[in-house]
């Protein structure tokens, strides 16, 4: 059994290679193999977002604070709010982050396949990030 005490999880700045804007990631737990699931808390300041990316086994996001946006490639940009749960389909190219005016925090739960939970791609340009309309229901 392993217990991770409150306040002991490492926090890192979201790397510029995979995020736009100010992002803090609290890596809560990544168990050793053969387990393949892990989770962290991600804090996005206004305007901050992930690059385009995919997950080989999908990803669950649970929004804990604020308001953000998410979008699958070719789909509508959708508002996400505290209390919302988002399922990012396996292999589906997408991004998520804060709105341009509000911060957002979510818990991200992912599983790794062959040791990798994510494939990172290019940044989401402002023209895509700021494009409307935003689906709110």
Q: What is the CATH number of the domain that holds 70?
A: 2.60.120.10
Domain presence at residue 79: yes
Which pLDDT belongs to residue 7? 84
Which residue segment(s) compose the domain that 92 sits in?
35-104
C-alpha closest to that of 26 among 46, 14, 9: 9
> Low-confidence residues of the chain, pLDDT below 50?
none
Domain presence at residue 52: yes
Which pLDDT belongs to residue 28? 87
Read off the pLDDT of residues 56-74 as tens digits, 9 standing for 90 and up: 999 999 999 999 999 999 9
Which pLDDT belongs to residue 79? 98
The whole-angstrom separation of Cα 134 and Cα 121 is 23
The whole-angstrom separation of Cα 47 and Cα 129 is 9
Q: Across-strand partners of 100?
A: none
How many structural domains comprise the chain? 1
Domain presence at residue 70: yes
């Amino acid at each position: 059994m392993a217990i991770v005490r409150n306040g002991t999880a490492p926090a890192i700045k979201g790397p510029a290679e995979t995020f736009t804007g100010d992002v803090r990631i609290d890596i809560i737990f990544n168990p050793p193999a053969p387990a393949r699931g892990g989770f962290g808390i991600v804090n996005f300041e206004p305007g901050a977002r992930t690059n385009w990316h995919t997950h080989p086994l999908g990803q669950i996001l649970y929004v804990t604070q604020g308001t953000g946006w998410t979008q699958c490639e070719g789909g509508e940009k959708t508002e996400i709010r505290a209390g919302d749960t988002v399922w990012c389909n396996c292999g589906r190219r997408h991004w998520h982050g804060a709105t341009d005016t509000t911060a957002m925090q979510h818990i991200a739960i992912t599983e790794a396949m062959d040791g990798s939970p994510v494939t990172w791609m290019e940044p989401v340009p402002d023209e895509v990030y700021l494009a409307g309309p935003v689906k709110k229901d």
